[in-house]
Amino acid sequence: MSTATLTPEQPRTLADHPAPSLLQLVRVELRKSYDTRAGRWLLIVIGLAVLAVVALSLFVEDVPKTFTDHFGFTQLPISILLPVLGILLVTSEWSQRTAMTTFTLVPRRSRVLVAKVLAATLLAVLGVVVAALASVLATVLTPVFSDAERDWSLSAALVGQVLVVQVVTVLAGVAFGMLLLSSPLAIVLYFVLPTVFTILVSLVAALDWVRDWLDLSTTSMPLFEDGVDAQGWLQFGTSVGLWVALPMLLGWLRILRTEVA
């Protein structure tokens, strides 16, 4: 019988090992975002797109060329493409079925999700930093390619606002990923749903209040310019609730409850 092979000193309990820290998990999630071909290419494309925007704003004559202007322009490719990285951060675990390994190594799923949210936030901040560096380059080169002077003016408030918008945008991607758990579905709906929503509420006059309070693209627009008032923040906040907080909450619950197979 099997128990006959037992020796008394064999342990019947498990040795205690410290849990992986949140910092460890965040670093792992960040690594996951660039250690695959898809992730790496997406980052390269974002970098190239930022440079393309810099080139455009330098060579097109009637585009304003202050540092603030460059900083605003370079946010555009980042705000469009970086959320895809946020989506993939979550959905690739399902499409590639790595969730099985991820959640057996860290069975407390919320810890993994917190790490993913923090990693996405860091990526957004990194994106803004890259945009800022590209804007420095653009501003330095401005007198070379045009008649405009170098204008370094930039308000701290604007930087803060842009950071908030970019973080929220990437987290919207994460939220869609969490809710849908499928890369193609999440990417398509992430781009289509808000656009359809914007068109709908903009066309119908009776829906103006919906647009002003729940349409994220409308409410985030003022944040790219200096000086947002309390109502602006409130409107931005309510639309973030609809497009980021709500899908993230539902997706979070879905992931906690779903069976991973």
Partner 1 sequence: MITIEHLTKAYGGQLAVADVSFSCPPGTVTGFLGPNGAGKSTTMRALVGLAEPTSGTATVGGRRYRDLPNAGRSVGVLLDAGAQHGGRTGREVLTLASRVLGVDRRRVDEALERVGLAGRPAGKRVGQYSLGMRQRLGLATALLGDPQVLVLDEPANGLDPEGIFWMRGLLRDFADRGGTVLLSSHLLHEVEAVADQLVVISGGRIVAQGSKSELLAGTGGTLVRGPDRALLAKALEVAGIGISAGPDDALVADAEALAVGQAVAAAGVVLTELRAAGGAGLEDLFRSLTGSSHEVQEVQA
Q: How far is the CB of 88 from partner 1 (least distance, A)?
A: 11
Nearer to partner 1 among residue 104 and residue 153 (C-beta):
104
Nearby residues of 155 by Cβ (< 8 Å), 6 or more positions away: 68, 226
- Residue 17 sits in the site that holds partner 1 (CB under 8 A): yes
- Structure tokens, 144: 């070379």
Containing 48, the helix (H) or strand (E) segment is helix 37-59
Q: Reduce the DSSP state of residue 106 to 3 states and report it.
A: coil
Only segment of 1-9, 67-75, 123-131, 223-231 that touches partner 1 (CB under 8 A)? 1-9
- Residue 107 sits in the site that holds partner 1 (CB under 8 A): yes
Angstrom distance (rounded) from CA 258 to CA 17:
27
- Residue 8 sits in the site that holds partner 1 (CB under 8 A): no
Applying CB under 8 A, which of residues 61, 108, 208, 225 lies at the interface with partner 1? 108
Using N-to-C axis directions, what is the helix angle for 246-257 and 109-145, rounded to 10°?
A: 140
Buried b (16+ CB within 10 A) or exposed e, 214-251: bbbbbbbebbbeeebeeebeebbebbbebbbbebbeeb
Applying CB under 8 A, which of residues 22, 36, 200, 231 lies at the interface with partner 1? 36
- Residue 156 sits in the site that holds partner 1 (CB under 8 A): no
Amino acid sitting at position 226: D
Number of residues that bind partner 1 (CB under 8 A): 44
Nearer to partner 1 among residue 229 and residue 259 (C-beta):
259
Q: Cα dihedral angle (147, 152, 158, 164), rounded to 10 degrees?
A: 100
Q: How far is the CB of 11 from partner 1 (least distance, A)?
A: 7
- Return the residue matching tokens 């409308």: 218
- Residue 12 sits in the site that holds partner 1 (CB under 8 A): yes
- Residue 5 sits in the site that holds partner 1 (CB under 8 A): yes
Per-residue binding string, partner 1, 48-87, x by CB under 8 A, is ----------------------------------------
Binding residues for partner 1 (CB under 8 A) = 1-3, 5-7, 10-20, 24-25, 27-28, 31-32, 35-38, 92, 96-101, 103-108, 257, 259-261
